[in-house]
């Protein structure tokens, strides 16, 4: 689950893993998230790295701290994550695709058609 290939820092991967837990509903509003020590044990990483991942989410108002009790999921968490991923991750992926298309001289229509086909196929998969 955690990869050490160096392309994404471990603490970002931890933050993203918790985000996904929230998105798929494994962690709900006002629920307590794993402590830095639990995360360290789960992923065999330094607890300071895990704490950095948790703090990243606190800074973005995805988690809030109850003094002495730990970190909990905010009411807005899910929406914040969705907005953020749309604007950064999804947009970034599309930018990469656009760049590649440019290098390969793929026309706009062709690219859009490819995207539509992929979306259609992936919908078929979930059924």
Residues that bind other proteins (CB under 8 A): 2, 4-7, 9-11, 37, 40-41, 43-49, 52
Cβ of residue 34: shortest distance to other proteins, in angstroms?
13
How far apart, in whole angstroms, are the C-alpha atoms of residue 103 and residue 46? Answer: 41
Cβ of residue 11: shortest distance to other proteins, in angstroms?
6
Minimum CB distance to other proteins smaller for 29 or for 89: 89
| DSSP character at residue 76 | T
Note whether 91 and 85 are within 8 A (CB).
no
Residues 15-41, buried b or exposed e (16+ Cβ, 10 A)?
bbbbbebbeeeebeeeeebbebeebbe
Minimum CB distance to other proteins smaller for 7 or for 126: 7
How far apart, in whole angstroms, are the C-alpha atoms of residue 50 and residue 53? Answer: 5
Minimum CB distance to other proteins smaller for 37 or for 93: 37
Cβ of residue 60: shortest distance to other proteins, in angstroms?
17
Cβ of residue 85: shortest distance to other proteins, in angstroms?
21
């Amino acid at each position: 689950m955690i990869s050490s290939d160096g392309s994404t820092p471990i603490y970002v991967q931890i933050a993203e893993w918790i985000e996904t837990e929230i998105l798929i509903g494994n962690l709900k509003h006002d629920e307590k998230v794993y402590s830095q020590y639990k995360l360290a044990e789960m992923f065999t990483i330094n607890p300071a790295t895990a704490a950095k991942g948790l703090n990243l989410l606190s800074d973005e108002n995805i988690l809030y701290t109850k003094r002495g009790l730990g970190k909990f999921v905010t009411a807005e968490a899910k929406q914040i994550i969705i907005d953020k991923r749309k604007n950064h991750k999804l947009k970034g992926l599309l930018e990469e695709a656009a760049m590649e298309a440019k290098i390969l001289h793929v026309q706009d229509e062709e690219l859009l058609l490819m995207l539509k086909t992929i979306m259609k196929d992936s919908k078929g998969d979930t059924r």
